[in-house]
């Protein structure tokens, strides 16, 4: 097979004529001699090189120099990644820079980077409530209370599983709102006042709550099925609601966050009473919230509850902006709150 390939390449070059310039034989002669003297590996490499030359309009000298650089780059990449998992390479073989924790150990997460971590603001007022003032407020309040009933019946005091379900739902509004504002910004050629980023930050933060709870709870198959069902229904319902009335949508989320604060407060009470074991905090939570290395479940639930209080304030604020007859872009978004 190799002889046939060599013969084909040589014949294709010989058919174009053999020329001598400045005392040097044309490259087809050189290739022929090299192929006859080389082993199987060199045969394949040289044939591939000649094939690329025939298909390219680039001068031979430039191609040779380029090929030499490519071979050197491939060799260097091979040496660097020798003994490592090939998944460490990113697009086009560009290696990810070495990222470490503050103590110098390797950073294990791809879902977030060290500069995306933060310390939760624990001084936020957890008792603040938005008192329903008009029909929309009362409607939103009643809807949230109605949605809480099946959750209380199904999960009772299994607050880990309840939190997992809660975060699956809570991560949807920020994504829907951010997506629709993004499309509106593109459609109307206008800025969003930072609200796209703020709402997507909220969605990402809620998703990290879920990733943490999954590490703690290990959901059963029927709980996963329930998550799929609830998320499918809630996403589509909230999408339509946000299209029709953003102020009602944000108000509902604000009341949902108030319920989340209540649920996490009850969760903490059970941890403090010993009804729920105060296990070690998952590594992902320690890195994400910059918790002490010996942090326990109590610290994790405390920072999650503080996050929910921030989401409560932001969504009630967004609803108030709409009630004032303005758009979100007219008021600066509270960025960086998580």
pLDDT of residue 301: 96
What's the CATH code of the domain at 246?
A: 1.20.1260.140
Report the alpha-carbon distance of residue 124 to residue 193 in Å, rounded: 24
Q: Residues 51-71: what's their mean pLDDT? A: 48
Structure confidence by residue, pLDDT tens digits, 82-91? 444 545 456 7
Count: domains in the chain: 1
**Inside any domain, residue 101:** no
Taking residues 20-34, what's their average pLDDT? 43
Full domain range(s) for residue 164: 159-329
Residue 310: CB atoms within 10 A of its CB come to 19
Mean predicted lDDT score pLDDT of the chain: 79
Q: With bands split at pLDDT 50, 70 and 90, how would you rate the model's confidence at 294?
A: very high
pLDDT for 10 equals 53
Contacts of 334 (CB under 8 A, 6+ apart): 198, 313, 314, 317
Range in 99-108, 171-180, 188-197, 219-228 the model is least confident about: 219-228
Q: Is residue 29 part of a domain?
A: no
Structure confidence by residue, pLDDT tens digits, 220-240: 888 788 888 888 899 999 999
* Span 241-276, pLDDT tens digits: 999 999 999 999 999 999 999 999 999 999 999 999
What average pLDDT score do residues 95-108 get? 85
Residue 308 belongs to some domain of the structure:
yes
Q: Residue 18 pLDDT > 50, yes or no? A: no
Average pLDDT over residues 11-20: 47
Q: What is the pLDDT of residue 37?
A: 42
The pLDDT of 172-189, averaged and rounded, is 95
* Torsion of the alpha carbons at 288, 294, 295 and 298, rounded to the nearest 10: 160
Q: Would residue 215 count as lying in a domain?
A: yes
Q: What is the pLDDT of residue 226?
A: 83
The answer as to whether 209 is a domain residue is: yes
Dihedrals phi, psi of 106, to nearest 5 degrees: -65, 140
Query: Looking at per-residue confidence, does 246 or 163 come out higher?
Result: 246
Let me know if residue 234 belongs to a domain: yes
At 68, is the pLDDT very low, low, confident or very high (cuts 50, 70, 90)? Answer: low
pLDDT interval class at 168 (50, 70, 90): confident
Q: Reduce the DSSP state of residue 204 to 3 states and report it.
A: helix
Q: Backbone phi, then psi, for 95, in 5-degree steps? A: -75, 145
In the chain, % of residues over pLDDT 90? 47
Ordered DSSP codes for 130-192: PPP-SHHHHHHHHHHHHHHHHHHHHHTT-HHHHHHHHHHHHHHHHHHHHHHHHHHHHHHT---
Residue 15 lies in a domain: no
Domain annotation covers residue 183: yes
More confident residue, 268 or 94: 268
Residue 100: phi, psi to the nearest 5? Answer: -125, 160
Instruction: Check pLDDT > 60 for residue 111.
Output: yes
């Amino acid at each position: 097979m190799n002889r046939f390939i060599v013969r084909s390449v040589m014949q294709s070059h010989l058919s174009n004529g053999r020329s001598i310039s400045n005392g040097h034989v044309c490259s087809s002669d050189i290739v022929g001699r090299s192929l006859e003297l080389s082993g199987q590996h060199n045969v394949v490499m040289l044939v591939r090189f000649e094939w690329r030359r025939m298909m390219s309009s680039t001068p031979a000298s430039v191609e040779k120099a380029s090929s030499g650089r490519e071979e050197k780059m491939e060799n260097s990449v091979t040496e660097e990644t020798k003994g490592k998992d090939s998944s460490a390479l990113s697009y086009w073989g560009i290696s990810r820079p070495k990222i470490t924790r503050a103590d110098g150990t390797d950073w294990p997460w791809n879902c977030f980077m060290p500069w995306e971590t933060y310390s939760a603001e624990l001084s936020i007022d957890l008792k603040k409530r938005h008192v329903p003032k008009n029909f929309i407020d009362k409607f939103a309040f009643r809807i949230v209370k109605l949605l809480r009933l099946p959750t209380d019946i199904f999960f009772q005091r299994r607050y880990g599983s309840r939190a997992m379900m809660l975060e699956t739902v809570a991560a949807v509004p920020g994504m829907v709102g951010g997506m629709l504002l993004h499309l509106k910004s593109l459609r109307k050629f206008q800025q969003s006042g930072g609200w796209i980023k703020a709402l997507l930050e909220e969605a990402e933060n809620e998703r990290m709550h879920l990733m943490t709870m999954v590490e703690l709870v290990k959901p059963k198959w029927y709980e996963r099925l329930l998550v799929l069902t609830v998320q499918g229904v809630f996403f589509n319902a909230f999408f339509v609601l946000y299209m029709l009335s953003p102020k009602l949508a944000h108000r509902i989320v604000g009341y949902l966050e108030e319920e989340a604060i209540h649920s996490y407060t009850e969760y903490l009470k059970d941890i403090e009473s010993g009804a729920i074991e105060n296990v070690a905090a998952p590594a992902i939570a320690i890195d994400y919230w910059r918790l002490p290395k010996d942090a326990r479940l109590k610290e994790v639930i405390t920072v999650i509850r503080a996050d929910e209080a921030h989401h409560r304030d932001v969504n009630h604020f967004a609803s108030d902006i709409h009630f004032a007859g303005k758009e979100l872009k007219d008021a600066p978004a509270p960025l960086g709150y998580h």
